Structure 1
Amino acid sequence: MRFPVLPLAIALALGLSGCERRPDDVPVVVSAIGDVPESLDPTRRPLVFPDAVQLAATAQGLVRFDAGGGIEPGLAERWIVTDNGRSYIFRLRSATWPDGDRVTAEQVAASLRAAVSPRTRSGLAPFVAVIDEIVVMTPQVIEVRLKQPRPDLLKLFAQPEFAILRRPGIVGSGPFRLESGLLRPVQDPMVLEDEDAVPPDAAENVRLIGERAALALARFAARESDLILGGTYRDWPLLAHAAVAPANLRIDPAVGLFGFAIVSETGFTAEPRNRAALAMAIDRAALTALFRSDWATVETLLPAQLDSAALPSVPAWAALPLAERQTTARNRVAAWRAANPDADGVIRVALTRSPGAVLLWSRIARDLSAIGLRPQWVDPRADADLRLIDSVAPYDSARWYLVTACPNCSDELDALLTAARDAPTLAERGQRIAEADLAISEAARYIPIAQPLRWSVAALRLRAFQTNPRAWHPLTHLREP
């Protein structure tokens, strides 16, 4: 299995050319790691990373993320949350579509209804099922009414999946418009009516390129770009060949899930005690050290209490030293093999082929083999026993972690997660979440490893660039005004 590496000449170029990449009076060139965008409609298929970056740049939502991962106005100039978190009222600012037509409240409401429909292909749709109705109150005001209280809904509305779109054509109101291959800032309609207004200069434009990490690093080395976005564990090994200067490499304090969902209930993974043995077998510190010495490990599904009524559930094995964990796991495998002499002991691990996956697999395969199992790498679309989850949390709800970490939960666990979703009060919701967290931990349906590894490469001229827990970097916040 071969993966692309950067030529020595490129590594030397990066190492010798210094931190500053390009002049400060030219458009910002951004490489977004991933496939070239095919469709920007999140209701038709899940967004890949370059899609999400372009959609957020050309079609803002009611609100959007700022450079630090906080919430700032988008199409809504202001808002209030009433009825104990059951009602969100947004006042819309003046905005236009690319053809000059004004954005109306009816169009905003229609776009939101499509985004939250159960029929949408968006991966975030299950987390907005709480929305009861979206009502146009006046030509400038809409209200989002909820079945149950959700005081944290704004962070979901800031996601690209909830961009306000006009169909057909899938167009948005900005903050950029795509013209001749460049993303150009959209000027406020009031500014456009001012004859003395100064148009944006070239340095405010952005050229967005969707490409593989190796090409993105080569482009940065050749001083043909200013920013690489979307780096994950998959492409981390390429950085060693690129010799990126420390001042250019940015690591986000991302929060979310990086671990293995146990998605099979046959063979060795049929019993909770055996699933727990898989979690005990893995040397997390050795695994993360293959990537970064300071990539901290985790042993719980939830990173913090969040909106649960209890602290994160800690698995029983977490109190044991690593050697004792692995001995216990080895004994459980031996007992299972004795009871099932015809079993092959294969554990199918679903991973996307990439340089980082090779590193990850080297440790997982070693640890599972050491306890007497036969790990087998399979394609992400194939039947598997373990499936890697590598996702940044879109908002700060424990329920997102539980639902995402347990994609093949039993009916009993699903019932607990549904009860948390439908709880009539925040207090009851927190209690149901705590019960589901404990149940999933006891059922050993998820193997926590670490928080997601997210990295960018940024030229020093992008002085407004900030790392943040969402690992999201809006193109409106790259250069200082």
Structure 2
Amino acid sequence: MSCRNIPSRLKPGLAALLLVAAVTGLNGCRKAEGGAVDAVVIAERPPRLADPLAADLAPADLLLVGNVAQGLVRFDASGDIAPGLAERWAVSDDGLSYVFRLRTASWSDGRRVRARDVVRLIERQLARRSRNSLFDTIGAVREVVAMTDRVIAVELNAPRPHLLQLLAQPEFGLVRGRSGTGPFTATTEGEVVDLVRVLPGFDGDEAQQQRVRLTAAPAQRAIDLFVSGDSELVLGGTVVDFPLASAAKLPRNTLRIDPVLGLFGLVPARKDGPAADLETRALLDEAIDRDALIAALAVPGLQPRLSLLQPGLDLAASPAQPAWAPLTLEQRRPDLLARAQAIFPVAAPAQAGEATPGERPVIRIALPGGPGGEIILRRLKADWEPLGVQVVAAGDDPADFRFIDEVAPSSSPAWFLRRFRCEFAAICSAQADQLLDAARLTGFPPQRARFFIDAERIMREEVLFLPIAAPVRWSLAGRDVQGFAENRFGRHTLTDLRMAPNARN
């Protein structure tokens, strides 16, 4: 019986059973029709394939780039390094040289992919004028050399054990014109990107084909499509739209949350105003009720964080904690109110009552729209306004603090710390910058780790970042999408989605 042709003249009970099967088994029908996976990425427009160097790509674009224009290596479903354009590689004993052997491949125009072409593209990504967002993180690369038509060597100034994690990011996808090197090829028809991957057969078997139909939709629409059975996979969820997923009636075990590393908190956004004052930053940081904020977001497994660096990184010591960390918020509250009265002598009340309207200094926060951003703003108002300030969304006005929700591209502490260098941050520490520069130059790993520890301690003392938790990244995966897996980088390959984890290619 066809899934699209349920007979109407059946006994009532049997007809009801078939109707239920047709509705709840819609994904199975689609699987039978060629096995294509219908996937939706949360975005306002369809993803587009573009050179990461030519434009600032949205997360949905990077999803497409990572699946159509892989780099030398790529991530598998679990976030481990898998062959990309390079079929294998070797690392020298001193960690200063990576040698990649390219697989046989062609561009969309039929021209063979050669090492010198790949080197040219990588050199553009590493150039000082590059718009690659990971440029600063990968600064240890000295040169990239084409040794033969199929062999490339990447030479480093100092060992970088996380180099492959960075090269696997879609920001290092290799785009030439309007094409990439796979693993999928893409054609766009209207709002749908049709992705096809062909796997050669072995021992006379026919070639296998994997297909994904990728569309984009706002978060609520994407969730509705999944609940109705019109999609099997939703990607690209963040804290902004998590409350929508949490409120939906989802099938059991379909909400998947990535255990990502990264930054989730507030950073001073300008050199003047309340956030420019260290005592004010320290007061506001200590006053955040992180437990209450995380409870309001209701993200399973999310834990409060007091450190700039995240547990789980490759650290030589535990992340730096503030001196007040052992105390509860209730234990800290009297001191917080006393300090607030000293910092805001006109506005701050002696107790947690209302201050005179119009006299309170205003703290403006740049937050993303959506229900998640509204929850964060409400909680910060509840925590900070008793101190004698007003807390508002910045809107079009200059912000005092900006919300950051960014996933780390590797498990190295370097990305976290370099994010707050004076080159990028409105409020910074020249001393911490010097330590990071020294860490980049040293070839001795224990010394590099020491530089990182000292730089983080200074940044925490200067309150260059008000940490709250780890970033939030979520997806929805149907029962027939067995090849999907959560991972610490929040990067999701669309390969092998129909395969069980132990059967992936």
Give the corresponding residue for 2:94.
84
Match of 1:386 in 2: 401
Q: Kindly tell me: are residues 294 and 428 of structure 1, through their superposed partners in 2, closer, same or farther at Cα, counting changes over 3 Å? A: closer
Equivalent pair of 2:265/2:469 in contact (CA under 8 Å): yes
SS at match of 1:334: helix
Distance change >3 Å, CA 324–CA 77, structure 1 → 2:
same
1:90 maps to amino acid: F
1:173 aligns with 2:185: no
Q: How does 1:421-460 map to 2 (within 5 A)?
A: 421-460=440-479
Q: From 150, 169, 173, give the equivalent of 1:140.
A: 150
Aligned residues of 2:75 and 2:168 also touching (Cα < 8 A) = yes
Aligned equivalent of 1:369: 385
Does residue 396 of the first structure (1) align with residue 411 of the second (2)?
Answer: yes
- Provide the residue aligned with 1:296 in structure 2: 303
Distance 1:17 1:403, change over 3 A: farther
C-alpha displacement of 1:83: 5.1
Counterpart mapping for 1:18-37 below 5 A: 18=24, 21-23=27-29, 24-25=31-32, 26-36=35-45, 37=47
Given candidates 242, 246, 252, the residue that maps to 2:248 is 242
1:221 paired to 2:236: no
Secondary structure of 1:471 counterpart: coil
**Distance in 2 (alpha carbons) for counterparts of 1:19 and 1:301:** 46
Of 231, 239, 246, 2:237 maps to 231
Does the 8 Å CA contact 1:44/1:122 hold for their aligned counterparts?
no
- Structure 1 residues 62 and 382, CA gap change in structure 2 (3 angstroms): farther
Name the structure 2 match of 1:351: 367
Provide the residue aligned with 2:195 in structure 1. Answer: 183
Cross-structure match for 1:314: 321
| Consecutive aligned runs of 4 or more in structure 1 exceeding 6 Å deviation | 339-343
CA contact (8 A) 1:393 1:401 kept: yes
User: 2:173 is matched by which residue type in structure 1?
Assistant: A
Which residue of structure 2 aligns with residue 268 of structure 1?
274
Scaled by the length of structure 2, the TM-score of the pair is 0.85
In 2, Cα distance between equivalents of 1:260 and 1:105: 43
Q: What amino acid sits opposite 2:471 in the alignment? A: P
State the distance in 2 between where 1:287 and 1:88 align: 44
After TM superposition, the structure 1 = structure 2 runs for residues 248-259 of structure 1, keeping only pairs within 5 Å, are: 248-259=254-265
Alpha-carbon deviation of 1:197?
A: 5.7
Counterpart AA for 2:261:
V
Q: 1:347 to 1:371 in 2, by over 3 A?
A: same
Partner of 2:165: 155
- Counterpart of 1:54 (choices 54, 61, 64) is 64
- Please tell me the residue identity of whatever aligns with 2:487: N
Where relative contact order (Cα < 8 A, 6+ residues apart) is larger, the structure is 1
Q: What's the RMSD between the two structures over aligned residues? A: 2.6
The separation in 1 between residues aligned to 2:359 and 2:55, in whole angstroms, is: 39
Query: Deviation string for 1:310-330 (max 9, x for gaps)?
Result: 321111121221113333222
Aligned in 2, Cα 1:216/1:87: closer, same or farther, shift over 3 Å? same
Higher Cα radius of gyration: 2
**Do residues 94 (structure 1) and 100 (structure 2) align?**
no
| 2:344–2:388 CA contact under 8 A, matched in 1 | no
User: Please, which of 432, 437, 440 is the counterpart of residue 418 of structure 1?
Assistant: 437
Residue ranges of structure 2 left out of the alignment (5+ in a row): 1-19, 349-357
Partner of residue 289, structure 2: 283
State TM-score, norm by structure 1. 0.89
Cα distance in structure 1, aligned partners of 2:185 and 2:273: 53
Aligned letter for 1:213? A
Distance 1:448 1:19 in 2: 44
Helix, strand or coil at the partner of 1:259: strand
Aligned to 1:330, which of 330, 333, 337? 337
Unaligned runs of 5+ in 1: 1-13
Task: Give the percent of matched residue pairs that are identical in Structure 1 and Structure 2.
Answer: 38
Partner of 1:360 in structure 2?
A: 376
